[in-house]
Amino acid sequence: MTVMTATTAARADLIRSLAVCAEPPTAALEPVAALLGLPRMPTAAEHTDTFTFQLHPYASVHLGPEGQLGGVARDRVAGFFRALEVVPPTEPDHLVVLLGAYAQLVDLDVAGEGTRARHARIALLHEHLWPWLPRLSWRITELGAAPYRSWARLLGDLMGDEVAALRPPATLSAHLREAPGLGDPREGDVGEFLAGLLAPVRSGLILARSDLARAARELDLGLRIGERAYMLRALLGQDPSPTLRFLASEAERQRDHVPGDDATARFWTGRLESTARLLESLADVAISGIDS
């Protein structure tokens, strides 16, 4: 039995197995990796690079207007647990926690625990997982080591099947529906604009450190290693217009790889198109303080 042909009951165990693979690897992961058909065990260094340095597995980073851990997005996820009369975990928005909770709800739903379990399962998927998981999975297939690329494809396919089976509401998640857009620095604060570029829900962009390193290589600019905000400011300080055009091109590239065609996919496509247009217009003019 493959992941994609698993029965509904077995899917909960598959989701749990995929969740375990997002934790730091230990010897206990070896049979799980073999079960999932991963090419090999990931190393601790690969886990750190993928989930700490490049792509953060937290809903708040992807769905919060701050683009950082915590904030309103984490509060919303914690509220979901409270609505189920469960004390929220320390990191309620971590992918491992969310997948584990989802697997439990699948078990309850399959066991016939009533409509409450089904509604909670749909709510968790629609509100707190599907709005960001497909795009994270896609970026991991680009930037992760071989085991994590395989893992991300499996996870994206499995949760996509969940969406197709459950037919969540056509309306957007509150995370997306209430998210502010990316402001124009010519009409506001430059610092706020730069922070918005690094907040996926505002710009649509998932910018990893490796993307900024690629920009430095392609534009022949000096690379300063540090937090993404520091790296971005350094690139803009050296040559703002080419850097802005690179980011516009990256927004267009990511737009062309938004998976799906539902309301969530249309949200991300729209954000990326707006960001690309804004960045192109900014590249045509001198923006005072863009590198400050």
Q: Give the per-residue pLDDT at 3.
A: 44
Q: Give the per-residue pLDDT at 62.
A: 98
Q: Give the per-residue pLDDT at 1.
A: 36
3-state secondary structure the chain: CCHHHCCHHHHHHHHHHHHHCCCCCCHHHHHHHHHHCCCCCCCHHHHHHHHHHHCCCEHHHHHCCCCCCCHHHHHHHHHHHHHCCCCCCCCCCEHHHHHHHHHHHHHHHHCCCCHHHHHHHHHHHHHHHCCCHHHHHHHHHHHCCHHHHHHHHHHHHHHHHHHHHHCCCCCCCHHHHCCCCCCCCCCCCHHHHHHHHCCHHHHCCCCCHHHHHHHHHHHCCCCCCCCHHHHHHHHHHHCHHHHHHHHHHHHHHHHCCCCCCCHHHHHHHHHHHHHHHHHHHHHCCCCCCCCC
Q: Give the per-residue pLDDT at 4.
A: 41
Q: Give the per-residue pLDDT at 287.
A: 58
For the chain, the domains span 3-175, 181-283
The domain 3-175: what is its CATH number?
1.10.3480.10
Per residue of the chain (292 residues), give pLDDT as tens: 344 445 666 889 999 999 999 999 999 999 999 999 999 999 999 999 999 999 999 999 999 999 999 999 999 999 999 999 999 999 999 999 999 999 999 999 888 777 888 999 999 999 999 999 999 999 999 999 999 999 999 999 999 999 998 887 778 999 999 999 999 999 888 899 999 999 999 999 999 999 999 999 999 999 888 899 999 999 999 999 999 999 999 999 999 999 888 899 999 999 999 999 999 999 988 554 565 4
Q: Give the per-residue pLDDT at 171.
A: 86
